[in-house]
Amino acid sequence: MLRHVRTLRRLAAGAALAAVAGLVPLQAVVPAGGAAAATATSDACGALLPKSDGSSWTCSFVDNFDGTSLNTTKWITQETAKTGFRTGSTCYTASDKSIKVRRGVLELTARVMPGNFVCASPSGDFTTKYTGGMIGTRGKFSQTYGRFEVRAKYPTARTSGVHGGFWMNPLSQTYGAWPASGEIDVAEWWSSDPSLVLPSLHYSGRDGRYDSGWSCRVADVSSYHTYAVEWLPTEMRFFIDGQLCFARSWVPNSPLVAPQPFDHPFSMILNMGVGTPTGSNAITSSTQLPATYTVDHVKAWR
């Protein structure tokens, strides 16, 4: 039903929607007879969202995954073989078993393979039997400050070993290697604690007691929910289904001064993989795989 409503909205916008290639607000269509144009109530992201100052957020990125393949003008696939990036025992691949767009959603899937294989990596090859899916906007879209949102549902796995979510990394290492240049986790999830969908800030000076939203919980993460952050120069505000669950003003270690290191462009990342062989979210023979992270849309505003 929600996708039908979205389609009707697009049809109603008509030619005006085609004019938003630059992702600027839609201009109201002037009625016949020269009547004054009505005030725009939507843009490429949908209904206009108000800011606290009374103005509206302006859409800067949107993907509703309505095609039959990943839109490579907006996303890159982040294979371990190319980037060297891994989480836990995951080898990220571009296979359609790991990354698939169909029926109006993106599916990122973590799997166990029939046997061990060597995962090639520029950071050093390793042996595993687990694959996963990861995509990002690096080189396609990045932004400093704004609102960033995903509507998604997490896997049904309820034993330890599955890990993924929606997060953001800096476009460049302006202040040094991780975590000095920052990381913004909007909605990070572990199957070992399945109701926790954790927002976090990572930076030099992080205090884990205060820089993560430990009360951000969802009763059923395997149904659709909307996870968002409003990134301001003085504060990060994290929301689940429109309700504020965590806010933080960060205090970096000297010589940095807030808003550093969160004052330069970040790109968006989505991933689904597995944990490590040990620890609180250990991958074990009881881990429920395959596990799919299903994403309905990703949006950003200025």
Return the HEC string of 139-150: CCCCECCEEEEE
Question: On the CB side of 118, how many CA atoms lie within 13 Å of its CA?
Answer: 5
Q: What is the DSSP string of 33-96?
A: TTPPPPPP-EETTEE--B-TTS-B--EEEEE---SSS--TTT-EE--HHHH----TTEEE--ST
Q: Which helix (H) or strand (E) holds 9?
A: helix 2-13
Instruction: Tell me if 271 is assigned to some domain.
Output: yes
Question: Could you tell me if 187 and 254 lie in one domain?
Answer: yes
What are the start-end ranges of the E strands in the chain?
42-43, 46-47, 59-63, 76-77, 90-92, 99-102, 105-119, 126-136, 146-153, 162-170, 183-190, 197-202, 225-231, 236-240, 243-248, 266-274, 291-301
Question: Could you tell me if 183 and 37 lie in one domain?
Answer: no
Shortest CA distance to 290 belongs to which of 164, 198, 150? 164
Q: Residues 191, 288: contact at Cβ < 8 Å?
A: yes
What range does the domain containing 3 cover? 1-48
Question: Could you tell me if 40 and 74 lie in one domain?
Answer: no
Instruction: Tell me if 54 is assigned to some domain.
Output: no
Q: For residue 7, what pLDDT is reported?
A: 44
- Token pair 């995903």 is found at 150
Question: Could you tell me if 162 and 265 lie in one domain?
Answer: yes
Using DSSP, state whether 290 is helix, strand or coil. coil
Instruction: Tell me if 58 is assigned to some domain.
Output: no
Instruction: Tell me if 55 is assigned to some domain.
Output: no
CA distance 244 to 155: 23
Q: For residue 38, what pLDDT is reported?
A: 61
Q: Residues 260, 130: contact at Cβ < 8 Å?
A: no
Question: Could you tell me if 153 and 4 lie in one domain?
Answer: no
φ, ψ for residue 297 (rounded to 5)?
-160, 160
Question: Could you tell me if 280 and 160 lie in one domain?
Answer: yes
For 158, other C-beta atoms within 10 Å of its C-beta total 14
Query: Where would I find the H helices in 175-276?
Result: none
Question: Could you tell me if 170 and 91 lie in one domain?
Answer: yes
Question: Could you tell me if 100 and 124 lie in one domain?
Answer: yes
pTM score, two decimals? Answer: 0.87
Shortest CA distance to 200 belongs to which of 238, 164, 149? 238
Taking 70 as the pLDDT cut, the residues of the chain under it are 1-38
**What is the per-residue pLDDT across 207-264, written as a single tens digit (0 to 9) for each?**
999 999 999 999 999 999 999 999 999 999 999 999 999 999 999 999 999 999 999 9
Pairing between strand 126-136 and 90-92? parallel
What amino acid occupies position 277?
P
- Look at the chain and report how many structural domains it folds into: 2
